[in-house]
């Protein structure tokens, strides 16, 4: 931000395992030399680290592999998904076995 009031922002309606970088979030929140100077930078990166680990847990299958991702845009048009997709959500986003592919 030009005004220093936020550390980062991103926008999309899909997230998947490959978009995450918990190592960077760890370094940015825990290593003094890399901590941002913005007012909420460190706490933003701490939350990012927590959320990424939580997302990994959400995506990890019982067999141990990671699969798929999450979205908030059913059919790529922000439509309301069928009720069965809302049974297991990640912060309001539902599981997508092929993120980005359908669009």
Output the pLDDT for position 51.
Answer: 95
Nearest Cα residue to 6 out of 29, 36, 40: 40
Please tell me the distance from the alpha carbon of residue 1 to that of residue 9, in angstroms, as a whole number.
Answer: 9
Q: For the segment 8-54, what is each residue's pLDDT rounded down to a tens digit?
A: 555 567 787 777 899 999 999 999 999 999 999 999 999 999 999 99
């Amino acid at each position: 931000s030009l005004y220093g009031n936020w550390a980062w922002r991103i926008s999309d309606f899909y997230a998947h395992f490959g978009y995450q970088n918990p190592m960077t979030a760890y370094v940015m929140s825990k290593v003094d030399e890399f901590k941002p100077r913005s007012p909420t930078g460190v706490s933003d990166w701490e939350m990012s680290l927590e959320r990424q680990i939580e997302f990994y847990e959400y995506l990890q299958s019982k067999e141990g592999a990671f699969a798929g991702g999450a979205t908030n845009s059913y059919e790529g048009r922000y439509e309301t998904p069928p009720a069965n997709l809302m049974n297991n959500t990640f912060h309001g986003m539902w599981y997508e076995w092929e993120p980005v592919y359908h669009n």
